[in-house]
Amino acid sequence: MWYFLAASLLSLRVNKIISGFLLAVAVGLGYVNQVIDYHALFLLLVVVGNYLLMISVGEKSRKIKEGLSCINLLIALALALHLIPGFDNPKVLDSVIAGSQSAPFTMYYNFDKALIPFVLLISMKTLFVAKPAKQSGVLGWALLIVSVPALLLLGVALGGLRIEPHLPAWFAQFALANLFFVSLAEEALFRGYVQQRLTQFISPVLALLITSALFGVMHYAGGWLLVFFAGLSGIIYGLAWMWSGRLWVAVMFHFGLNCIHLLFFTYPFYSRH
């Protein structure tokens, strides 16, 4: 089921028919395995209905399309916050310890969050590929790449992390979930949709800062230190999107930072025990 869901997300940019078929298989398997129930199926029908309405309306009524887009955005936000019933996301890792200095870590496979790119693509045709809002040279990209470990080292300097190289036995499970059900979902929402929409009305830099701040606040459950670092990481991901116009570029920066964090530092944070 999870491999079908990941494959559907991977093919979403390339071939929507194949992606839709793989998603249908994943949904069917999810229902059989009681990961989703009729509430989730009803939500999917609503999303499909919105898609068909937007096609039928076309360019006849911008207000109707904007209203449907707002509904899709609210659905995506609710999925990100796990507010929609009908999803019984399985716990894959339960209080595992990445290293001797790391805090316990629990991870779920989130079917609801993984649906975000599908929902937003209905309203934003340029979700995956858009015209870059600004350009940057080789030096800018080099500095952006260096900023990934630099941000984690800042976490060490502030006492939230420690350097602790390790390769957990559950890394493959982590990578699958983090790439498709976390990084892609969050980047689709914040960079592909919110930052792109804001860039249509305000300066790209201001859109970047606002989106990064919102991304930080979304991590409030982890405490204010996490909000701070999530906001800074949001600037990195936002620059990657702003300079490339490619959602997957931002996703790989997001995924890369999370992997470096797990493999070379205490994860999710330093445990003072």
Rounded Cα distance, 198 and 56, in Å: 26
Q: Write the pLDDT tens digit of every residue in 244-268.
A: 999 999 999 999 999 999 999 999 9
Residue 136 lies in a domain: yes
Residue 240 lies in a domain: yes
Residue 48 lies in a domain: yes
Comparing C-alpha atoms, which of 126, 123, 5 is closest to residue 75?
123
Taking residues 41-58, report their average pLDDT: 88
Q: Answer whether residue 65 shows pLDDT above 90.
A: no
Q: What is the pLDDT of residue 222?
A: 81
Distance of CA 118 to the CA centre of its chain: 12
Instruction: Provide the number of structural domains found in the chain.
Output: 1
Task: Please report, as a single letter, which amino acid is at residue 187.
Answer: E
Residue 270 lies in a domain: no
Q: CA dihedral defined by 210, 212, 218, 222, rounded to 10 degrees? A: -140
Rounded Cα distance, 273 and 262, in Å: 19
Buried-state track 195-222, b at ≥16 Cβ within 10 A, e below 16: bbebbeeeebeebbbebbebbbebbeee
Q: What is the pLDDT of residue 240?
A: 98
Q: Answer whether residue 231 shows pLDDT above 90.
A: yes
Rg (CA), the chain: 19
- DSSP structural state of residue 142: H
Residue 131 lies in a domain: yes
Domain of 203?
2-264
Question: Do the Cβ atoms of 76 and 193 come closer than 8 Å?
Answer: yes
Q: Answer whether residue 42 shows pLDDT above 80.
A: yes
Mean confidence (pLDDT) of the chain: 95
Question: Do the Cβ atoms of 229 and 163 come closer than 8 Å?
Answer: no
Q: What is the pLDDT of residue 212?
A: 98
Rounded Cα distance, 77 and 221, in Å: 16
- Which residue has tokens 């990209």? 141
Residue 273 lies in a domain: no
Place 60 in a pLDDT band, splitting at 50, 70 and 90: low
The backbone torsions φ and ψ at residue 241, rounded to the nearest 5 degrees and listed phi first, read -70, -45
Q: Answer whether residue 61 shows pLDDT above 80.
A: no
- DSSP structural state of residue 33: T
Q: Is the dihedral angle over the CA atoms 220, 222, 223, 229 positive or is it negative?
A: negative
Q: Answer whether residue 184 shows pLDDT above 90.
A: yes
Q: Answer whether residue 174 shows pLDDT above 70.
A: yes
Taking residues 68-79, report their average pLDDT: 94
Q: What is the pLDDT of residue 59?
A: 63
Q: Write the pLDDT tens digit of every residue in 95-137.
A: 999 999 999 999 999 999 999 999 999 999 999 999 999 999 9
Residue 271 lies in a domain: no
Residue 269 lies in a domain: no
Q: What is the pLDDT of residue 66?
A: 86
* Percent of all residues in the chain with a pLDDT value above 70, rounded to a whole number: 99
* Percent of all residues in the chain with a pLDDT value above 90, rounded to a whole number: 89
